[in-house]
Amino acid sequence: MGRVEGKVAFITGAARGQGRSHAVRLAQEGADIIAIDLCGPVPGIGYPPATPADLEQTVKDVEALDRRIVARQADVRDRDAMKAAIDEGVAELGRLDVVVANAGICILAPWDEVTPEVFRDTLDINLTGVWNTVQLAAPHLVAAGGGSIVLTSSAAGLKGLPFLTPYVAAKHGVVGLMRAFAHELAEHHIRVNSVHPTGVDTPMGAGDGMAQIGAWLQEHPRLAGMFTNSLPVEITQPVDISNAVLFLASDEARYVTALTMTVDAGNTQY
């Protein structure tokens, strides 16, 4: 028996990166998957967007594990599309037990170069999109008699980081959502937790904007230590975060709720 055998998990931002890794890791332990991704561009991001081919690869990877998957292109900002994807997935797979609100963007800029559009898009996707995910999916967990919700925040959800003002604001907001939902949904035996990675080796985590940070830190050297990990690693792998998601999704974490779980190599201790 796998650690999440017989469960169904809904994952946003599942076409690649952490989202695909979460889908595969949960499938390895027996879960069926409902996967969505925008699979399209967002203005201002410094890395190539996910594509329909990426989402199809997630489908292939999950099916190769002999698990079922329902995948749809949907934007976490579009409540109607989100609800349709969730409801169709539950209708096909029979239930919903786990929600992983993973979709997000990251656009770097010094504080005085952030545009209103970038600030709006970042909060719409990284914060309102998480709220949409939980509010639309949670009724299915209530119907199932309980479950687990995992929200992807960041080290930047627990501390301030330079050149990331909109991202920091959104990821701190995710912690607020997690804590509020954890208490309101507890009576339904639904646990809500957040995960807080340091840098992760994904298209977003290794994009052109990240390379620009080095130049900005040369101009502002007193800020450099804020990006330092205590452990001697510069970047983590998606599966490192997926293993934390798996634990929180599993019955091993049956009494774990309202937790900000760091997978940050000590980054938030600085």
Catalytic residues: 167
Pairing, β 69-73 against β 98-101: unpaired
Smallest Cα–Cα separation from 40: which of 125, 120, 97? 125
87 CB contacts (<8 Å, ≥6 apart)? none
Q: Provide the CB-side half-sphere exposure for 267 (13 A, CA).
A: 27
Measure the CA–CA gap between 212 and 191, rounded to whole angstroms: 38
Rounded to the nearest 10 degrees, how much is the dihedral formed by the CA atoms of 200, 206, 209, 211?
A: 110
Measure the CA–CA gap between 245 and 247, rounded to whole angstroms: 5
Hunting for tokens 């959502």 — which residue is that?
177
Residue 191 neighbours by CB distance under 10 Å: 23
